[in-house]
Structure 1
């Protein structure tokens, strides 16, 4: 699908509505920063809070404005297999290059249920599917052995791994890469991207690259090029901001950060709220220390 850095894009709002002009400008900022993919309507994009009509507009805007320069991957997961299939088919019809499908949340499927869920989604599509594992949000952890069972489905092409368990990541890479070297393993946590890619992973689907696309792309590209020392230095330089963007629930801090750079308003949809003053002060300090200004 891609190797390197994909940005889990924020969704800009203005006076209650999707701000298409701001989105196009923000996509340009990302592409000029050298990111390798755009991930639309994930957690960072406030997907649970947009309407069906807005989903179509947001996807169409990203596809048309990127114009094939990098892959556009759309978050289409839900806790219903039928609804996930429906949203995935919609994304495919609107021109998405792939879909990112989170493990079903709240209803806590078994590992067999997860296996059948992802196979059903993939079999309904002709575009690539990336599994998304984030048990801290979903209450559901897809095990490496279950991912390995999906390798015989050709258009399941990778996983975004945000379990936070590096031993699980190592076991995943150990199981999948010898069987399918082309199966992409992406970090879903900015602060673990260095470690995951050094362990044999392929990149990051990043929150931080919303505000620092060039810096995150540089770090990941250095690892993939074998320059681990330069990558390690950049990882440690970025580390305070990686942590600062999660002092409140994502995407609250990063939405503020993008607004601070002038690419959107601070507007965020309930039940999320705008960043507290202490969070703003932390993000301001971390951006200033990195020399990132609007």
Structure 2
């Protein structure tokens, strides 16, 4: 069965400090209740790009410690426009016991492809872990072509891609050209078409609360029941629409609170949840989960 990964959230207290207990509770909820296949730690959903290096290390420590003995896959996202930090984090998580790392494409400075390739080669050069490229052009502004991926995959340590890209023509071409590479879909709202293009699984933020329905969709697809899979995707997309309209990160945490998980707050400059957002999150909980 194709694997489902939750993009782990980070709990913060009202002052913006990491809430260790809350973060542990989210790891446990994903393992014990969602029965997730894996966790993607330190990604966009974890508000990673607003954390300092020491804070990132602490999140990696919490996740692997709390997941100990659970037999789930853990992927540590170590990417950063600061290559020195990315390399430091790659070594750090390898020493912690992570077997797979990921790295977002370097962003902001309009790096050319040779600079991007150098970045990835450097991150994996001194570690034994395997790397999954994190491609999310809508947020980074970095689009990789089929030939770009081919050149990255020449490095045997680069085993695949977290593909958060709406270009499904490129996705089909990737799967056709690289049948043995790991391709994990990154858009929860497009899980079904990604499954149809033979991805190996999916990583997403809404799987923190919607994993059971997503897993049922994967099972229906693999059983050939496309009508059921389509119905489940429609229901998930109704939820995703409501989450997006209410402010997705704060709302995910508020729904988790309703589910008994101390998910904490978002970190500034993300806005604190207003009374209206809190009311909206409660309606979402009651509509979909009560």
Q: TM-score, normalised by structure 1?
A: 0.88
Q: Displacement of 1:116 after TM fit?
A: 2.4
Report SS of the residue matched to 1:222: helix
Q: Displacement of 1:88 after TM fit?
A: 1.3
Corresponding residue number in structure 1 for 2:240? 242
Deviations 1:188-208 (A, max 9, x none): 111111111211111111111
Contact 1:56–1:94, Cα closer than 8 Å, also in 2: no
Separation in 2 of the partners of 1:115 and 1:74? Answer: 19
Report SS of the residue matched to 2:6: strand
The equivalences for 1:204-243 within 5 A come to: 204-243=202-241
The equivalences for 1:1-294 within 5 A come to: 3-16=2-15, 17-32=17-32, 33-68=34-69, 69-177=71-179, 181=180, 183-247=181-245, 250-276=248-274, 279-290=277-288, 292-293=289-290
Deviations 1:169-217 (A, max 9, x none): 222222211xxx2x11111111111111211111111111111222222
Q: Displacement of 1:125 after TM fit?
A: 1.9
Between stretches 270-279 and 95-104, larger displacement belongs to: 270-279
Report SS of the residue matched to 2:244: coil
Structure 1: runs of 5 or more not aligned: none
How has the CA–CA distance of structure 1 residues 245 and 158 changed in structure 2, closer, same or farther, with 3 Å as cutoff? farther
Contact 2:5–2:39, Cα closer than 8 Å, also in 1: yes
How has the CA–CA distance of structure 1 residues 277 and 157 changed in structure 2, closer, same or farther, with 3 Å as cutoff? farther
Deviations 1:25-68 (A, max 9, x none): 22221112121111111111111222333222221121111114
Say how many residue pairs are matched.
Answer: 287
Contact 2:22–2:264, Cα closer than 8 Å, also in 1: no
What root-mean-square deviation, in Å, do the aligned CA atoms of Structure 1 and Structure 2 show? 2.2
How has the CA–CA distance of structure 1 residues 243 and 172 changed in structure 2, closer, same or farther, with 3 Å as cutoff? farther
How has the CA–CA distance of structure 1 residues 143 and 12 changed in structure 2, closer, same or farther, with 3 Å as cutoff? same
